[in-house]
Structure 1
Amino acid sequence: MTGRRDYYRDPAAPRANSLVPGGSALVADERGRILMQRRSDSGNWSLPGGTMDIGETLQQCVVREVKEETGLDIEITGLLGVYTDPAHVIAYADGEIRQEFNLTYLGHAIGGTIKVSDESTEVRYVDPIEFDRIPIHDTVRLRLHHYTQHRDTPHLG
């Protein structure tokens, strides 16, 4: 895979040179499966989301990104957590090395049809029993774990 490489708690990771606000959505269906996409740049399964555009709120960004990446319209229902771990950096082919800055919202689908975008090779609801058998980055696994804990308050980190 090309275009992106994630480093997490890696002493050999390059030093971040960028910080960009981004968000993602954890959308569960009535059977408890989680909406995920298999990223075309890394091959990992991930929550849909992306970075803000000027003129939009982060919630608007997440709704837009989920629509672009999965074909589904969602409604934000809460906040799972704030994820800003400086030990997670993402190196892009253009030289940008971004420190993680992600707010993960909770949401549910209100319309649309699942479809693959140019950023993914597959989009579907994933049963949690599959999580140990598919490639998922550790930082996404952390969010999935936080979701299964049914916390009363969002993760702040």
Structure 2
Amino acid sequence: MSTQWLNWAKQIQALAQSGLAFSKDIYDIERYEELRKISVEIMSQHTDLEIHKIESLFTNETGYQTPKVDVRGVVFKNDQILMVKENIDGKWALPGGFCDIGLSPSENVVKEIEEESGYDVIPVKLLALLDKNKHPHPPDPYHYYKVFILCEIIGGEPAVGPETNQVEFFTKNNLPPLSMNRNTESQITTMFEFLRDPKKKTIFD
């Protein structure tokens, strides 16, 4: 099914949020508030979310809207890739999550890997910077950039965290059920290409 409605809703919401952030004219502010209301109504017509939850989702931020940043750690051992089982959906993902304010991408990925898998790592190379909209993830009300960073284990041991319940390494041909909001099979396959060819250039988009 086409998700063009979602693109429209996100674009209208982003325009409204930016307008509310910078406009000084009371009538323009009213128009931007109406635009945001329309974006909420579009979402409510096409999803099972309650309208008050959508309103909260679309009004909890202020200022000029930009894509959110999600960082994922790529860790290999014995030609296998490290993955964690997510509590939220019972499926598997590269360890990672939202980038926190005050931490760089590499600092974030080190923190996320330790929290979700128990391993201590050092970041080695930026492998990919991808626009979530250009990959086969499920529809999402937000626009994300996904950052994949190669890391090497320097210590620690397998241990689950508050958001995970299992830690394992998997071969390319024996991947578990994937948490598709977090990573796709094609993305994992691309990460293995960097294992085969360490000189492979960083990819983007």
Query: Same fold judged by TM-score > 0.5?
Result: yes
* More relative contact order, 1 or 2 (CA 8 Å, 6+ apart): 1
Distance in 1 (CA, whole Å) between partners of 2:143 and 2:99 is 15
SS at match of 1:55: coil
Q: Residue 94 of structure 2 aligns with which residue?
A: 47
Judging by fraction of residues, say which structure has more helix.
Answer: 2
Q: Residue 28 of structure 1 aligns with which residue?
A: 76
Distance in 2 (CA, whole Å) between partners of 1:13 and 1:135 is 28
**TM-score, reference length from structure 2:** 0.61
Larger-gyration structure (1/2): 2
Contact 2:172/2:192, CA 8 A, preserved across alignment: no
Q: Residue 113 of structure 1 aligns with which residue?
A: 157
One-letter identity of the residue aligned with 2:97 = G
Structure 1 unpaired stretches of 5+: 1-8, 92-96
Structure 2 unpaired stretches of 5+: 11-57, 59-64
Percent identity (aligned): 22
Matched, 1:144 2:188: yes
Deviations 1:7-38 (A, max 9, x none): xx862884446732121111001x11111001
One-letter identity of the residue aligned with 1:144 = I
**TM-score, reference length from structure 1:** 0.77
Q: Residue 146 of structure 2 aligns with which residue?
A: 102
Runs of 4 or more consecutive aligned structure 1 residues displaced over 6 Å after TM superposition: none
Judging by fraction of residues, say which structure has more strand.
Answer: 1
Q: What RMSD in Å do the two structures reach over aligned CA positions?
A: 2.4
One-letter identity of the residue aligned with 1:68 = E
Distance in 1 (CA, whole Å) between partners of 2:125 and 2:187 is 14
Contact 1:26/1:104, CA 8 A, preserved across alignment: yes
